[in-house]
Amino acid sequence: MAEVFVALGTNLGDRAANLARARAALAAGPLQSLAASSVYETEPWGPVPQGPYLNQAVRGTTALAPRALLAALAKIETELGRNRKQEMRFGPRVIDLDILLYDDLELMEPDLEIPHPRLLERAFVLVPLAEIAADRVVHGISVRDALARTGTKGIRRLEPQPPDA
């Protein structure tokens, strides 16, 4: 079993429900022993005007090889309403699931890079990841130290909702 970290993001529709559905699909399918960070509201990133995101990171174990895990994440995205053919790059999305880390594997293929190629540059990924893996080292730098370099401007931790909310 490989230890993996996945980033979740959403800024369309019921964002909290989108994250909850994604976590449930991950736990019911490709990931076991799921642990999740808090949910953070973040300013949108990229050149397309859009609303704020909710972001989260999860840790789990999987028996799937990296490419099979990527396919499983894409299937979950589609089941939750994502249509990559109709969306704009860096634009709004109902759900986005990205493999951040897969054990200590380093992989560079045209459509799959592990660790995620922009992991150490994006505070909206580093903040939730630091909550569950602050000491994890990526390309010689800890997640905590990478976060200290990027800062946390525009990121707000959401308070957990009561179970009946």
Active site (catalytic) residues: 82, 93, 96, 98
d(CA 84, CA 161): 30
DSSP secondary structure letter of residue 160: P
Which residues, in sequence order, are bridge partners of residue 96? 9
d(CA 14, CA 33): 26
DSSP secondary structure letter of residue 52: P
Residues 2-26 as b/e (b if ≥16 CB within 10 A, e otherwise) read bebbbbbbbbbeebeebbebbbebb
